Amino acid sequence: MNFAVYGDPVRWNICMATNQSITSTPVIVWFRKDLRLADHQALWAACNSGQPVIVLYIREPAESGNGALGAAQGWWLHHSLAALAKTLARHGCALLLRSGDARVILDELIAQSGADAVYWNRRYDPRGIKVDSDIKAALAARNIKVRSFPGQLLHEPSRLKTGAGTPYKVYTPFWRSLEASGEPETPLEAPEAIVSPERTFESETLDDWGLLPTTPNWARQFVDVWCPGEAAALGPR
């Protein structure tokens, strides 16, 4: 296994998002299906915490709730993570890549870094919720703070319930409740800079994961029609 540190870790004297002084104890931000810096509430909360930030992506096994990764999905994930790493580097932060059971990976990184908190944006599929709930309970039992944030939907499902507190089963009252809930929150801008810990941590590489086809390279023309990454998704600004 080869190891590298993705991005270019830079030590900043202040957190540009808040101008707070920085403590030495880091917070881990666990990226999942939110490979962006803009409108990333977990990342913003970490920048506002006054702590150094470790940005982590875990390639979880299929049984964790993500399902088996298709070949074309692998191509997209490879280039999306590569784009994220470059963007993070411009903000003074490295992208840490690890693969395996998320609970084990988080336990290892907490032990290595001394982190006292883990932040993430929520996922909403039943298996993903179960994994996250189990991890949150296990970390809380060790006095590791876990904070989860909205990050995938315009409105949180928990906000749209019937008078009895149950999910809607009929569309019309659901729609009325949605209309009455107001406009979605204004998207957040990307942080101007992200404070990294003074030390670096071992990271797997994208090449280790073998997400790209080789022979035959059936994806060689994908770059002509597919543009992974946050900048491509946002388009000209």
Each residue of 178-219: pLDDT tens digit?
Answer: 999 888 888 899 998 899 999 999 999 999 999 988 888 887
6-152+187-227 maps to CATH 3.40.1260.10: no
For the chain, the domains span 6-152+187-227
Residue 27's pLDDT band (boundaries 50, 70, 90)? very high
Query: How many residues appear in the chain?
Result: 237
User: Is the pLDDT confidence value at 230 over 80?
Assistant: yes
Residue 119's pLDDT band (boundaries 50, 70, 90)? very high
pLDDT at res. 7? 37
pTM of the model: 0.85
Each residue of 63-82: pLDDT tens digit?
Answer: 665 667 888 899 899 999 99
Max mean pLDDT among 24-38, 59-73, 148-162, 170-184 falls in: 24-38
Among residues 194, 178, 183, 206, the alpha carbon closest in space to that of 59 is found at 206
Task: Tell me if 150 sits within 8 A of 156, measured CB to CB.
Answer: yes
Burial of 90 (0-12, 13-18, 19+ CB in 10 A): middle
pLDDT at res. 67? 66
pLDDT at res. 21? 52
pLDDT at res. 154? 87
pLDDT at res. 15? 41
44 CB neighbour count, 10 Å cutoff: 21
Average pLDDT of span 19-24: 61
Average pLDDT of span 118-132: 94
Average pLDDT of span 78-93: 94
